[in-house]
Structures are given as structure tokens and as C-alpha cells.
Amino acid sequence: MACPVPFISIGSMCLEFLFSDLTFGQASVSCVSEGGSLATIRTAEELRDFFLYVNQLGIADTNFWVGGSDVQSEGIWTWPDGTLVPMGTPFWGTYGPFAQTQEPNGGTEENYLALTSIGYYFFRDVVCNAEMKAVCMYKK
């Protein structure tokens, strides 16, 4: 599947990685200016494709914003186009030394979705002013 420059084909997705340290808001604006939006991950296959690509590229020590947020309504996670983020397994990771809880676990303190190295790129809720890289998506 061909993707318009600067997006690259990963599985069924057209993605662009931004390797600047950005807040969620900055990342969101940057993706829009690239002609896309922060990435949406709708299926387990897409999450798997992302994971494999990051490992193949040797950047599996890097954290990335993607497009999910529950800032508008706590607990209701949506993508930039307003559709619902899938909840539970196998999308959201676990937290704690014995994986006692499942993400999202930050309540009103953490309203933005990231794929982090320490979380093995399962979904995780993060505070908005954290700075990390970002994954943009071109919507086909």
C-alpha cells in the first residue's frame, strides 16, 4: 500500500515518526501540519505491526504519543476523529511490579495515550506535559 511522503507503509497503516521531544499538544499540531493526525491503533494486528516495526528499526527504547485521549470525558477514550479507543486486553498494558492493575490507571491526572518502551508498547495513559516522540498517521 503506497503512502504519501513523508508517511511510510507499516502493515495496513501509513505512519510517520516524529523524533522530537514533544508534549501531546505539540505532537498533535505537528501531525496535522504534516497532513495527518496522531496515530490511531484500531486492531491488535495494527498494534503488533507497530511493535514489530519499532523493534526492527532498533528504536524500541523510545516512547511515542499516539492519538488517544480521555480529556473531554474522563474514562471515555477517543481517537482524533472521535471514534472510541478499544479498551482492555490486548490493547492496554499492565502496571506495577506484579502487574496488579491494568492501564489506564491515571484517572483525571493522565488523559493522553502513549506507547512506551517500558510498557512494551501496549497502551498507557500519560500526563499531557510529558515529552516524547510521536507517531502520525495519514488517513487513507
* Min separation Cβ 2 and Ca ion, Å: 37
Residue 109 CB, shortest distance to Ca ion, in Å, is 7
CB of 113 to Ca ion, least distance (A): 10
Nearest to Ca ion of 7, 79 (CB atom): 79
Cβ closest to Ca ion, residue 4 vs residue 75: 75
d(CA 133, CA 18): 6
Binding residues (CB under 5 A) for Ca ion: these are 70, 111
**Which C-beta is closer to Ca ion: that of 56 or that of 72?**
72
Please state the closest distance from residue 25 (CB atom) to Ca ion, in A. Answer: 16
- Decide whether 54 or 126 has the Cβ nearer to Ca ion: 126
